[in-house]
């Protein structure tokens, strides 16, 4: 079959995937440029890749924080007497492995990781390394060099649980007969942590936004991450490191931010941030509750409530008091939420108040009044109509029961 | 009043003068005794216990044969009519294998999600009876994210569909290592469905699957089951690239079946026009439904389904509830379809009006009668539909009601031809360059290509080089690597060659727009244009606005007494002639053509009377299609034949060919198009084009060229044998106005046949 001829004709029917230029060259030109940027060749048999290595002082300031703040955070965790899924208790700063990749696209077997970057603490300095895939046929060297270098207990990433690490596993599977196994490790994913703490108060949870708002770090002349694939395709074609150096810089900043972000989130969870907002205290309290640390949880919720009468904190505290059957305290806190909370919190606390008055205090008139308040709050909620109707029916059911009891 | 039994109704049909006189043939298929074989000795005791609990103490002969062949490591294709216990052909060897080795894995591929669900239920029942700790899961778009990981790691039997394999499993194969390392069996059910464009795509998906298996060191045995087609072994081998053992001696018993050929009465003798099949079906199906005989009515198009549904619901609304008769077709959403399937099984639904979606082996249980509105287009399809009746009953009634179309009239007037003919050949063309190129991209995404590596027997180097030039791949040290930020499988749909579907949006309620369904682009040109009446579940909608750019059709519920029917104008030009043969008078060729199609006008046609009550323009851009075609040209002016006569002859010959071609090239009548042109653009000669309706072609028109004069002679036979005087819808059509149109069509057909015969001399 003569495909070439057919192809010419069929061109309009064939969907173009891209317009990016890619050609091949054998040798690696511009080696001097690489060397001038702390980057050297790693060779294994006939495969090779590049490794860039730079060192940072502990005193290095990355935005508002020094890198050494990490050491303090790890120490604090080690002194703590409670559990938390982000706790570094039992680890040394040297055990943490701050890891970030750059890839040619979204997840899927065909997406290539062309940059594996990481930092770890080593005595009085921090070593940051970046392994660079110069050409897709050199993947074995990339992973060999990476696996020879890694010696760690705990990965620290930003969204690495669902993206970077599964993608590493996927690419590793393709060449698993030529390289050692990937180590089993723990994993702190700071994206999920950030989501817990700041989802309610921040509009964007991109690393860049967090850097700006929480870490006091602003990027200058940074290339946006979405350009990385195009830059890499161009690099594979022309071999000129110019664009890649920018990608390396971007990746380097990401990794440094992982260090100070972990330190900062730890400070949030360890009561070590003097500027912690009421909302952050509230979220930390909710998080500890999820972790099963009741004492820590109520400390944070109380702190949040004391700070500015936070109605959400009042609600969670009230739920605790209710469970412990401290009804009077529960009532006064629910009242706060009912007055100042969001419509949804108002409805929920009104219902809780109705329950307590109906079942515990047997004050049916009061209970009835609270159900009316619940309906009013529901009215102000932004819900789909069917969900609203559903909730309304439940409240009315309660109302009817109370009024039946009242007539008795 | 007591309801009549099926045999009583059948008897009534025979005795009712009005009905009986229209019955061309009453063919009774006698019940067939079962042929059994003992359960093989080596069957695991837990498994044989489970079979016993299901009342299976021995196997049908074909099940035993399948088991033996698969145990010997052979790939097989079992030809299994409806209700012949085909599932044991694969479940038995698969479960046996997993019971013996817990690491073994199997992959089941069903053409639709509904079928996969159905089979999972059946499989799980068997596994429960066997008290086996074997996990079988469906993996499709409905599988919750939470259990996907479990399916990937621990599913012994993964049940999926080709689309899911293509877009979710293969591109993420590194998450399925335990499946691919231990894959022993791949089951492909409903093999005959994989023909045409869909089959050509799936053959490529399977090439990719085998490539991944070989990367992980497995080499699975393929087990295929198919309805009766002429070439099950060839199709399976082309689809899987594996040598197949054919198992076609069926051991299952079957019920007594009455196959009745019904030709509606002639209402206009001069024009040989018959009463509409739709109206006749309404009457006959109504008689059955009123006696609460569970009946399935098949119609060829979506529009027909909805029209008949409306009729029948009206007819029996007092006897049975409105929900007791339901429509069932491709455009419905899955939840609606499940509900109907359930209603059929538990008896809440008495009647179903369906397109061929139900031809597939969904288990809907007890149907006693089957009524076909017109010949379904292929012999295999007709038998599949007939198999819907009498799965469990002692007796079944199958009625084929012919329409006036030449194909129907050919079949109804030659019932023995239908009953004795070998069924059609299923064609696929995995080497369709557009389809193959798409899958090469996917394959390169999944694993880099090595220099010299074949892709299912084809050397793909030219294509890989092309993709390299297009900056999709990067070649380095003898390997082609994916070097692009796209996810190729997401842009490739297996179900059509034209990718984008039109979404149908109901805006009857301003505040609550909802999606009714989807339709492919080509069909949308004629079914969803502005002002078209679109029928869905018997409800009429008018298309208020077709947004062609955004591929959305906005519809609103209406109540009108008509439906719409649109015309498509077609322009053809020849791009390249690959093969040809000729005489002095005619030339027959095969090659590549460009087709430009444009929807022109639509007509409003009244229900009941079917009269034309208005029309309007359709304002849609032209669609261009590059495909394969066979074409027949008259070379010289024929002596004593005027231009007018030539034109009439061409139209007549084309009309007759339209009837014959789909019979011989197993395909939907819409898959292949036949267009006569008085002056073809490329040679200025009178020409008939027969072309594949999909970009790049799928081998249908090539088959037309290969079949050569047999096909033309059959068409001539159809025209010659028709009882009409000067042409009718059943032979040369009604567009012919001159007398002698029939004769001229025959002259042209003869010339073409001679040109084709000279094929071998050149």
List, as one string, the DSSP characters of B504-541: EEE-SSTT--EEEEEEEHHHHHHHSSTT-EEEETTEEE
pLDDT digits (tens, 9 = 90+) for B249-293: 988 888 888 999 999 998 877 666 788 888 899 989 988 988 888
A381, A263: one domain: no
Here the tokens at position A383 are 């819900």
DSSP strand pairing (B473-476 vs B501-506): unpaired
> Are A94 and A213 members of one domain?
yes
Let me know whether A237 and A375 are in one domain.
no
pLDDT digits (tens, 9 = 90+) for B615-645: 899 988 888 778 889 999 888 766 677 888 8
Inter-residue contact A148 to A85 (CB < 8 Å): no
Is residue B582 within a helix (H) or strand (E), and if so which, with residue range? strand B562-582
The listed range with the strongest mean pLDDT (A283-292, B551-560, B745-754) is: A283-292
Across residues B336-359, what is the average pLDDT? 75
Instruction: Please compute the mean of the pLDDT values over residues B442-465 and round it to a whole number.
Output: 95
**So what's the pLDDT on residue B1?**
56
Residues A130, A248 contacting (CB under 8 angstroms): yes
Residue A146 inside a domain? The answer is yes
Question: What is the C-alpha separation between A42 and B617, in angstroms, rounded?
Answer: 70
Residues B531 and B602 sit within 8 Å (Cβ to Cβ)? yes
Instruction: Report in angstroms the alpha-carbon separations of A362 from A347, A358, A407.
Output: 20, 5, 14
Say if CB A164 and CB A132 are below 8 A apart: no
B chain contacts of residue A224, beta-carbon cutoff 8 Å: none
Contact check, Cβ <8 Å, A233/B463? no
Alpha carbon of B590 to those of A9, A277, B474, B574, B689: distances in Å?
17, 77, 36, 10, 10
Of B431, B446, B474, the CB nearest to A109: B446
Residues A214 and A298 placed together within one structural domain of the fold:
no
Mean pLDDT for B116-132 is: 86
B431–A104 C-beta distance less than 8 A:
no
Residues A108 and A237 in one domain: yes
CA distance A51 to A138: 13
| CA A106 and chain centroid, separation | 18
Q: Is residue A1 part of a domain?
A: no
Residue A119's DSSP bridge partners are: A98, A128
**In this structure, are residues B392 and B366 in contact, taking their beta carbons and an 8 Å threshold?**
yes
Strands B369-373 and B295-299, bridge-based pairing: parallel
The first and second tokens of residue B1, run together, are: 């009043």
Look at chain A and count its residues.
Answer: 408
Residue B538's nearest CA partner among B510, B563, B520 is B563
Domain boundary among A269, A298, A317: A269
Chain A touched by B471 (CB under 8 Å)? yes
CB-count exposure of residue B133 (10 Å: 0-12, 13-18, 19+): exposed
CA distance B86 to B666: 23
Label residue B334 by pLDDT band (50, 70, 90): low
Give every residue of chain A whose pLDDT is below 70, as ranges: 1-27
Those residues whose C-beta lies under 8 Å from the C-beta of residue A206, and which sit 6 or more positions away, are: none
pLDDT tens for B703-744 read 889 888 888 888 888 888 777 777 776 677 766 666 778 888
Q: Give B205 or B752, the one with higher predicted confidence.
A: B205
CA B77 to mean position of chain CA atoms = 19
Q: Are B223 and B185 in contact (CB under 8 A)?
A: yes
β-strand pairing of A125-132 with A113-122: antiparallel
Task: Tally Cβ neighbours within 10 Å of residue B631.
Answer: 28
Q: Among A221, A238, A269, which residue terminates a domain?
A: A269
Residues in chain B: 762
Residues contacting A323, CB < 8 A, separation 6+ = none
Residue-by-residue DSSP string for B366-408 = ---EEEEES--SSHHHHHHHHTTS-SSSSEEEEEEE--SSHHH
Nearest C-alpha neighbor of B189 from the set B267, B277, B112, B264: B112
Q: Are residues A192 and A218 in the same domain?
A: yes
Instruction: Say which CATH number the domain at A392 has.
Output: 1.25.40.10
Q: In angstroms, rounded to a whole number, what is the distance separating the alpha carbons of residues B539 and A96? A: 64
Place of tokens 């027997």: B457
Contacts of A6 in chain B (CB under 8 A): 433, 592
pLDDT class of B572 with cuts at 50, 70, 90: confident
pLDDT value for A403: 92
The verdict on domain B6-30+255-426 having CATH code 3.40.50.300 is yes
Q: Please state the separation of Cα A319 from the chain's center in Å.
A: 28
3-class secondary structure, B600 = strand
Nearest CA in chain B to A2: B462
Q: What is the pLDDT of residue B434?
A: 80
Q: Parallel, antiparallel, or unpaired: how do β-strands B221-226 and B183-188 relate?
A: parallel
The reply to whether residue A22 touches residue B437, judged by beta carbons under 8 angstroms, is: no
Domain contains A375? yes
Residue B363 has what pLDDT?
A: 56
SS3 content of chain B, % helix, strand, coil (to 5): 40, 25, 35
Q: Looking at residue B253, what is its pLDDT?
A: 82
CATH of domain B575-598+627-760: 3.30.1360
CA A153, A159, A162: angle at the middle one, nearest 5? 90
Of the candidates B680, B448, B434, the residue with the CA atom closest to the CA atom of residue B575: B680
DSSP assignment string, A213-268: III----SSPPPGGGHHHHHHHHHHH--THHHHHHHHHHHHHHHHHHHHHHHHHHH
pTM across the whole model: 0.78
Q: Are residues A209 and A287 in the same domain?
A: no
* Domain annotation covers residue A75: yes
Nearest to B470 among A16, A107, A108 (CB): A16
Q: Is B592 on the interface with A (CB under 8 A)?
A: yes
Q: What does the pLDDT read at residue A264? A: 97
The total of structural domains in chain A comes to 2
- What percent of chain B shows pLDDT beyond 90? 34
CATH code at position A100 = 3.30.420.10
- CA torsion B49-B52-B56-B62 (nearest 10°) is 20
Distance separating alpha carbons of residues B49 and B36, to the nearest angstrom: 18
For B502, the token pair is: 């039109």
- Is B328 in a helix, a strand, or coil? strand
Chosen from B441, B461, B476, B514 to mutate, greatest number of chain A CBs within 10 A: B476
A5, part of any domain: no
B723/A contact by beta carbon, under 8 A:
no
Q: Which of residues 163-192 of A touch B (CB under 8 A)?
A: 166, 169-171, 173-174
Cα of B483 to nearest chain A Cα, Å: 7
Note whether A248 and A340 are same-domain residues. no
As a CATH number, domain B36-247 is: 3.40.50.300
Q: Is residue A2 part of a domain?
A: no
Strand partners, B506: B514, B555
* Residues of chain A numbered 235-254 and touching chain B (CB < 8 Å): 236
Domain end (from A215, A244, A269): A269
Q: Is residue A11 domain-resident?
A: no
Residue B539 φ then ψ, to 5°: -95, 135
Could you count the other beta carbons within 10 Å of the beta carbon of residue A323?
Answer: 10
Q: Is the Cβ pair B468, A22 closer than 8 Å? A: yes
pLDDT of residue B729: 64
Q: A7 at the B interface (CB within 8 A)? A: yes
Strand partners of residue A99: A118
Which structural domain, as residue segments, surrounds residue A402? Answer: 278-407
**Mean pLDDT, all residues of chain B:** 85
Q: Are residues A236 and A306 in the same domain?
A: no
């Amino acid at each position: 079959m003569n495909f070439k001829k057919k192809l010419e004709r069929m061109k309009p029917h064939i969907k173009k995937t891209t317009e990016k230029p890619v050609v091949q060259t054998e040798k690696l030109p511009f080696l001097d440029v690489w060397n001038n940027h702390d980057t050297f060749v790693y060779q294994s048999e006939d495969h090779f890749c590049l490794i860039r290595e730079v060192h940072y002082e502990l005193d290095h300031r990355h935005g508002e924080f020094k890198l050494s703040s990490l050491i303090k955070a790890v120490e604090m965790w080690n002194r703590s007497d409670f559990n938390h899924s982000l706790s570094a208790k039992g680890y040394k700063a040297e055990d943490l492995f701050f890891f970030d990749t750059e890839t040619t696209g979204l997840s899927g077997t065909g997406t290539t990781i062309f940059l594996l970057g990481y930092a770890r603490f080593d005595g009085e300095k921090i070593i940051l390394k970046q392994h660079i895939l110069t050409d897709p046929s050199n993947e074995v060297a990339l992973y060999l060099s990476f696996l020879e270098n890694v010696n760690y207990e705990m990965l620290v990433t930003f969204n690495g649980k669902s993206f970077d690490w599964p993608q590493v596993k996927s690419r590793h599977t393709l060449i698993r007969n030529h390289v050692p196994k990937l180590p089993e490790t723990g994993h702190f994913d700071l994206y999920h942590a950030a989501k817990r703490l700041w989802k309610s108060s921040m509009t964007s949870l991109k690393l860049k936004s967090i850097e700006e708002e929480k870490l006091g770090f602003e990027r200058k002349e940074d290339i946006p991450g979405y350009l990385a694939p195009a830059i890499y395709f161009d690099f594979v074609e022309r071999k000129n490191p110019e664009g890649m150096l920018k990608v390396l810089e971007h990746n380097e900043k990401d990794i440094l931010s992982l260090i100070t972000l972990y330190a900062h989130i730890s400070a949030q969870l360890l009561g070590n941030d003097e500027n912690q907002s009421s909302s952050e205290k509230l979220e930390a309290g909710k998080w500890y509750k999820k972790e099963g640390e009741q004492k820590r949880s109520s400390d944070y919720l109380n702190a949040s409530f004391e700070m500015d009468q936070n109605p959400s904190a009042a609600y969670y505290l009230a739920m605790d008091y209710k469970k412990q059957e401290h009804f009077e305290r529960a009532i006064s806190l629910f009242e706060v939420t009912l007055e100042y909370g969001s419509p949804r919190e108002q409805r929920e606390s009104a219902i809780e108040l109705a329950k307590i008055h109906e079942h515990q205090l047997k004050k049916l008139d009061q209970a009835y009044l609270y159900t009316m308040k619940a309906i009013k709050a529901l009215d102000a909620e932004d819900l789909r109509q069917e969900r609203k109707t559903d909730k309304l029916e439940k409240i009315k059911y309660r109302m009817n029961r109370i009024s039946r009891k009242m007539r008795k | 009043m007591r309801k009549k039994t099926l045999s009583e109704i059948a008897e009534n049909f025979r005795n009712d003068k009005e009905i009986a006189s229209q019955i061309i043939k009453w063919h009774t298929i006698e019940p067939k005794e079962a042929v059994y074989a003992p359960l093989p000795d080596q069957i695991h005791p837990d498994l044989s216990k489970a079979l016993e609990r299901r009342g299976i103490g021995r196997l049908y002969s074909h099940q035993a044969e399948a088991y033996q062949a698969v145990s010997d490591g052979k790939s097989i294709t079992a030809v299994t009519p409806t209700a012949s216990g085909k599932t044991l052909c694969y479940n038995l060897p698969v479960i046996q294998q997993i019971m013996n080795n817990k690491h073994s894995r199997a992959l089941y591929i069903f053409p639709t999600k509904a079928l996969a669900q159905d089979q999972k239920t059946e499989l799980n029942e068997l596994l429960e009876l066997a008290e086996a700790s074997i996990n079988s899961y469906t993996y499709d778009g409905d599988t919750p994210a939470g259990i996907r990981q479990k399916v990937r790691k621990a599913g012994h039997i993964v049940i999926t569909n080709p689309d899911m394999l293509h877009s979710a499993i293969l591109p993420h194969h590194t998450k399925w290592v335990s499946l691919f390392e231990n894959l022993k069996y791949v089951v492909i059910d409903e093999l005959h469905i994989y023909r045409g464009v869909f089959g050509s795509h799936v053959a490529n998906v399977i090439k990719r699957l085998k490539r991944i298996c070989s990367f992980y060191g497995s080499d699975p045995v393929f087990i295929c089951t198919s309805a009766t087609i002429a070439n099950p072994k060839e199709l399976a081998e082309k689809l899987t690239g594996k040598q197949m053992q054919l198992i076609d001696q069926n051991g299952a018993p079957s019920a007594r079946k009455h196959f009745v050929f019904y030709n509606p009465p002639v209402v206009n003798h001069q024009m040989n026009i018959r009463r509409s099949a739709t109206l006749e079906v309404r009457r006959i199906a109504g008689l059955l439904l009123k006696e609460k005989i569970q009946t399935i009515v098949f119609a060829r198009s979506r529009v027909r389904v909805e029209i008949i549904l409306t009729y029948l619901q009206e007819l029996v609304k007092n006897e049975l509830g409105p929900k007791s008769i339901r429509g069932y077709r491709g455009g419905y959403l899955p939840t609606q379809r499940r509900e109907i399937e359930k209603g059929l099984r538990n008896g809440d639904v008495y009647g179903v009006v369906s397109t061929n979606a139900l031809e597939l082996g969904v288990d809907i249980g007890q149907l006693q009668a089957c009524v076909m509105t017109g010949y379904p287009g292929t012999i295999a399809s007709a038998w599949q539909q007939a198999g819907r009746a009498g799965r469990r009953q002692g007796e079944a009634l199958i009625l084929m009601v012919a329409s006036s179309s030449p194909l129907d009239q050919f079949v109804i007037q030659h019932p023995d031809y239908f009953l004795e003919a070998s069924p059609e050949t299923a064609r696929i063309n995995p080497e369709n360059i557009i389809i193959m190129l798409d899958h090469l991209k996917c394959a390169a995404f999944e694993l880099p290509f090595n220099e010299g590596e074949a892709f299912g027997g084809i050397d793909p180097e030219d294509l890989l080089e092309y993709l390299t030039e297009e900056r999709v791949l990067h070649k380095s040290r003898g390997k082609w690597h994916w070097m692009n930020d796209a996810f190729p499988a997401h842009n490739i749909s297996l179900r059509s060659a034209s990718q984008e579907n039109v979404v149908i949006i109901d805006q009857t309620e301003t505040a609550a727009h909802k999606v009714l369904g989807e339709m492919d682009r080509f069909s949308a040109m004629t079914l969803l244009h502005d002002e078209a009446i679109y029928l869905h579940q018997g409800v009429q909608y008018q298309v208020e606005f077709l947004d062609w750019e955004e591929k959305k059709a906005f519809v609103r519920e209406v109540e009108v007494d008509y439906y719409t029917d649109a015309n498509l104008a077609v322009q053809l030009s020849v791009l390249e002639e690959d093969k040809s043969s000729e005489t002095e008078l005619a030339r027959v060729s095969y090659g590549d053509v460009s087709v430009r199609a444009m929807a022109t006008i639509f007509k409003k046609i009244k229900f009941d009377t079917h009269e034309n009550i208005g029309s309007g323009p359709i304002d849609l851009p032209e669609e261009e299609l590059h495909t394969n075609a066979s074409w027949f040209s008259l070379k010289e002016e024929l002596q004593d034949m005027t231009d007018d006569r030539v034109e009439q002859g061409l139209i007549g010959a084309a009309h007759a060919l339209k009837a014959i071609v789909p019979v011989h090239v197993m395909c939907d009548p819409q898959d292949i198009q036949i267009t006569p042109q008085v002056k073809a653009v490329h040679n200025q000669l009178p020409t008939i084009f027969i072309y594949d309706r999909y970009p790049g072609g799928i081998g249908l028109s090539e088959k037309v060229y290969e079949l050569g004069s047999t096909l033309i002679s059959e068409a001539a036979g159809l025209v010659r044998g028709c009882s009409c005087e000067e042409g009718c819808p059943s032979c040369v059509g009604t567009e012919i106005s001159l007398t002698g149109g029939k004769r001229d069509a025959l002259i042209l057909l003869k010339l073409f046949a001679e040109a084709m015969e000279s094929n071998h001399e050149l």
